[in-house]
A and B are shown apart, each in its own frame.
Chain A
């Protein structure tokens, strides 16, 4: 079967092309071209857009705004995004980072999509089809979304508040056993005043660790202080099983890595 490819100069034209027929949006290609090569027949048209708005990065007033076509490499290079660069650097090798986009990462099924885990902890807002949707809601409905994701925005975390770890079995880079992202703010006395924790590979898509978040508020980031949160981090998880690790293994090591991340 032949795939037809439509290249659209604007987001509006690409959105219209996506609405017609069995079309899929082509970002960096790391997910969609792979699917096509593996024989996915659920689409026969790929729509891409050269709209410069899609690759725009804006950092101002404590908020970052990323076009859906911004690559992981562009994030790692941007001086205003240094606080979250490690999450983008965790994705793939250099070639993949030159291709993989913010928008594509939002649709990546576990074990991929480590940057989306970071976006979830950052409390990002996803812009799709002219509407803004919180990332928690977006990830729940992403398979039914028929409009084009054009960008994400999120408040930049205070210095040191963003924590991220991706665990792989291969050094320096490999597919995720799990990833954890957290934005944890502490008051002057060292007690946690707010916490957002997101987990990768603990379901088919990123999920929040709400019980751990609740247990963290008011706690101090010490061995004794984080014990309750560490015990709660596995609540509600349904880890994936794949050739990298079994669900059992992922569930066993999650509290270990979460504890290390909190005490780091």
Chain B
């Protein structure tokens, strides 16, 4: 039996601890152990961005991150964005702007967009394109996604005057 190691994280604001297989990726640990299936496993090699999560404030790929290396870290996933069943402005903008078709890339896109808006609440179109450059979408042709991120930024109360 594979060796198990304890991993304690703050996942979407909640203190959590689980035993994970030694050498397991954060993606597999989140989905298999922590019960958070919002990050998706697309390519498992850092190409598609579907597994993007925010670890200690930085956008990272959970498929290339070891769960053990996240011990003590604060992790935010798309599953943690809604508050009291009200969608996050990014989620609402994606839904209203038809920025999700099959939906597989959406959680990664939303985390990449959140990482951008956390740093830069009022991004330019070029900023958005750059921020999403590590995320692949095979359905939308990207334009609705770019528009959704810009719409979410425009609707944000943190927007610079």
Binding site for B on A (CB under 8 A): 2-5, 7, 26, 28-30, 33-34, 36-38, 46, 48, 73, 92-96, 98-99, 172-173
Known: A2-B2, A37-B25, A37-B45. A95 touches B59 (CB 8 A): yes
Contact A94 B131, beta carbon cutoff 8 Å: yes
CB atoms of A34 and B45 under 8 A apart: yes
Inter-chain contact A99/B44, CB cutoff 8 Å: no
* Shortest CB distance A92–B (Å): 6
A33 touches B133 (CB 8 A): no
Q: Contact partner of B68 among A7, A73, A172, CB < 8 A?
A: A7
Residue among A29, A46, A95, A172 having the largest count of chain B Cβ atoms under 10 Å:
A95
Central interface residue in A73, A92, A98, by most chain B CB within 10 Å? A98
Contact A5 B66 (CB under 8 A): yes
- B-side interface residues toward A, CB under 8 Å? 2-3, 5, 21-23, 25, 44-46, 49, 52, 58-61, 63-66, 68-69, 112, 115-116, 129-135
> Separation in Å of the B16 CB from the closest CB of chain A?
19
Closest 5 CB pairs of A and B: A93-B134, A3-B23, A173-B133, A2-B2, A98-B58
Shortest beta-carbon distance from B76 to chain A in Å: 13
- B45 and A98 within 8 A (CB): no
- Inter-chain CA distance A204–B55, complex, in Å, is 33
Chain B: interface secondary structure?
Answer: mixed
Tell me whether A94 and B66 are in contact (CB under 8 A). Answer: no
Report whether A5 and B68 are in contact in the complex, using a CB–CB cutoff of 8 Å. Answer: yes
By a CB distance below 8 angstroms, the chain B residues around A172 are 129-130, 133
Q: How far is the CB of B5 from chain A (nearest CB, A)?
A: 8
Report Cα–Cα, A33/B133, bound state, in Å.
21
Docked Cα-Cα span, A26 to B22, in Å, equals 14
User: What are 13 A-B contacts with C-beta separation under 8 Å?
Assistant: A2-B2, A4-B23, A5-B68, A28-B64, A29-B69, A30-B64, A33-B63, A34-B46, A93-B132, A94-B116, A94-B130, A95-B59, A98-B60
